[in-house]
């Protein structure tokens, strides 16, 4: 009979540790830098556009996160014509 409560406790412990992975600033490639005296920084944005949309009406800018450890973020940029025409 002691085995059943112990098995339930172990199962609950395993389930709680598996579900406890929280997102952190290390998981997101873009940071918002708020304008003003506070100068707050928030690094929870997947895309540059998502960051800029959040700052609209507040003011500030978006930068690539110095904390991000994943693959390089993709930023959509205009392509430039480097072909010279003679």
Q: What is the mean pLDDT of residues 66-77?
A: 72
Kindly report the pTM of this predicted structure.
0.55
Label the pairing between strands 41-45 and 60-64: unpaired
d(CA 62, CA 75): 12
Distance CA 26, CA 44 (A): 9
Mean pLDDT of 74-85: 52
* pLDDT value for 36: 81
**Structural domain boundaries of the chain?**
23-70
How many C-beta atoms surround the C-beta of residue 52 within 10 A? 15
| pLDDT tens-digit series, residues 16-38 | 444 445 667 678 999 999 988 77
Q: How many CA atoms lie within 13 A of 75 on its CB side?
A: 13
Residues 17, 30: Cα–Cα separation, whole Å:
28
């Amino acid at each position: 009979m002691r085995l059943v409560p112990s098995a339930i406790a172990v199962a609950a412990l395993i389930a709680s540790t598996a579900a406890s992975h929280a997102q952190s600033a290390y998981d997101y490639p873009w940071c918002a830098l708020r304008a003003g005296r506070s100068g707050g920084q928030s690094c929870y944005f997947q895309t540059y556009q998502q960051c800029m949309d959040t700052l609209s009406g507040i003011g500030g800018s978006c930068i690539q996160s110095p904390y991000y450890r994943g693959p390089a973020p993709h930023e959509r940029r205009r392509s430039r014509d480097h072909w010279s025409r003679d």
